Amino acid sequence: MSDGPPTLPPPPPLSDRWALFLDVDGTLVPFADDPEQVYVSARLIERLGVLATAMDGAIALVSGRRVEMLDRLFAPLQLAAAGLHGLQRRRAGETLAAPPPPPAALEAVHLQALELAAAWPGALVEDKGEAVALHWRAVPAAADALQAFAAQAVQRLPGYHLQPGDRVVELRPRHADKGMAIDAFLGEAPFRGRQPVFVGDDLTDEHGFRAVNAHGGMGVLVGDRASVARHRLPDIAAVHAWLGAGA
């Protein structure tokens, strides 16, 4: 008997009656050593725009990136979006609300993280404003050092916690997650009353899967690991094909 995660079926064909929520990195685009170097194809942007029209706007990006960066990546398309794992949220066509200022201690943690990363060429410290992410995708040997630093640093940040991801750990406020962002969207037009579907790949997406499951919807895992999602697509190319944006 296999010790791996259970086999999940693929999702059904897209429906314009859904409320569709999409993670970005690892789901719509490949991970990159430097998150600033990610490229979104014109074909995908065009297809998401077509879907947004067909679904009366009930489509949103739900990402660990800032909403401002999502807008740059997907320009000229500007979808409803939740950024920083739910710390930011903006409905389509609205102006993004200004966040509260981060604690003063976060700047000191950021500077110390930069000093540590300098000892590991290829490690990256990402300043997200309200959060700080430590990446070791390009230098796996740095994982223990960066995780140990994050575990110590979070003790100096009241109201913060550690959010682990795929070769990254993030120090971020604990009062929001992707599931809470999806719940908030589902309470508003045009998402209200629709069956929610969330597509994501990382551990940070489990909150979103639980949220859509609770609303009678579907979580779609990208990849192959244990998850509360009930459907699966094997990789990013399969996501594009399912969305109708394949090559």
Q: Are 88 and 129 in contact, with CB atoms under 8 Å apart?
A: no
Terminal Cα distance for the chain, rounded: 37
Determine the Cα–Cα distance for residues 33 and 36; give it in Å rounded to an integer.
9
Determine the Cα–Cα distance for residues 23 and 48; give it in Å rounded to an integer.
13
Determine the Cα–Cα distance for residues 82 and 104; give it in Å rounded to an integer.
24
Determine the Cα–Cα distance for residues 44 and 134; give it in Å rounded to an integer.
28
At 53, which helix (H) or strand (E)? helix 42-54
Contacts of 107 (CB under 8 A, 6+ apart): none
Reported as half-sphere exposure (CB side, CA atoms, 13 A), residue 169 has a value of: 18
Strands (E), the chain: 18-22, 59-62, 80-83, 88-90, 124-127, 132-135, 160-165, 168-173, 195-200, 218-222, 231-233
- From the candidates 16, 23, 71, 183, which is the catalytic residue? 23
Determine the Cα–Cα distance for residues 98 and 24; give it in Å rounded to an integer.
22
Active site residue 3: no
Active site residues: 23
